Amino acid sequence: MLKTEERNPSTTNIDKMPTSDIIAVMQKENLNAVNAVAMAQNSISNAVDEISLRMAKGGRLFYVGCGTSGRLGVLDASECPPTFGVPNGLVVGIIAGGDNALRNAIEGAEDNAIAGAKDLSTFNITERDSVVGISVAGGAEYVLGAIKYAKDRGALTVGISSNEDSKLLTTTNVSIFTDTGAEVITGSTRLKAGTAHKMILNMISTAVMIKQGYVYENLMINLKPTNKKLRQRMIRITATLTNVNEETAEMLLEKNGFNIRSAVNDYKQNPTL
């Protein structure tokens, strides 16, 4: 039996617990997700370095998953353009069953290896690309099909799973194992296994973007003013980097097409503004 399918002895009577105890035991199990990620730091670092090398040469990052895993990949990919100002196609999330699967369970989608390869093939994968397969159990055929296609095309393959001897981890170039153990509700891997995998995706995308130069110090210098909140954040960042007040920072940004880099460089050349 897969470790993530085992019954958790700490929660056998969870249906009879008072609410405070339910929350307490769930939080205790959440800490296991954090500890599992801590144990996987070396593998995560290796994945980041390998992905970064390829992205620096024009490669892209793909996440492929089913159900919760697929949704987490799409979520992380969709956050990269607004956070780092990168084009939509640089980080791509692919979920079994397509966009409809983001809101609905698509029966049998994860068992179709051919569909996994086909969906990935539409992106013309090359050796510069990196494909991260996400599967808690580590045996989703859709993900394995995509990974095989990626390997055949010479792309870097990374596997994330909470079962150490899973097929996914034994077939990818870089394997990231999170030993999250049995879930609070037996087999409900959207819980701490999903939490661990979300943390890893956060680390991968953020560290890769840092290494690609999309972050200065700890500031998002490639932001786009797509809403009031981000516009104000850009003003604050520019003010911080130029040591001017926010009114002057906004003037600099407006003069430079609301581009933080250009605004800061402009100020450095004309500090009397």
pLDDT, tens digit, for every residue of 172-201? 999 999 999 999 999 999 999 999 999 999
Strand partners, 131: 62, 157
DSSP reduced 3-state for 132: strand
- Domains annotated for the chain, with CATH where assigned, are 3-211 (3.40.50.10490), 217-269 (1.10.8.1080)
Q: How is residue 150 written in tokens?
A: 């990626």
| Structure confidence at residue 15 (pLDDT) | 96
- CA–CA gap between residue 103 and residue 118 (Å, rounded): 22
Catalytic residue among 29, 110, 141, 183: 110
Confidence bin at 1 (pLDDT 50/70/90) = confident
**Amino acid (one-letter) located at 46:** N
Catalytic residue, chosen from 5, 29, 50, 79, is: 79
Determine contact, residues 187/8, Cβ cutoff 8 Å: no
DSSP 8-state secondary structure symbol assigned to residue 231: H
Instruction: Check if 110 is active-site.
Output: yes
Burial state string for 141-178 with b = 16 or more CB within 10 A and e = fewer than 16: bbbbbbbbbbbebebbbbbbbbbeebbbbebbbbbbbb
3-state secondary structure 58-108: CCCEEEEECHHHHHHHHHHHHHHHHHHCCCCCCEEEEECCCHHHHCCCCCC
164 catalytic, yes or no?
Answer: no
Q: Which amino acid is at 113?
A: A
Residue 27 has pLDDT above 70, yes or no: yes
- Contact assessment for residue 117 and residue 148, using Cβ atoms and an 8 Å cutoff: yes
What is the predicted pLDDT for the residue at 235?
95
Q: Which of these, 119, 26, 128, lies nearest to 66 by C-alpha position?
A: 119
CA separation for the pair 211, 205 (Å, rounded): 10
Task: Give Cα separations from 222 to 81, 219, 251 (angstroms).
Answer: 9, 9, 18
Give pLDDT, residue 172: 98
Strand-pair partners of 87: none
- Residue range 41-57: average pLDDT? 98
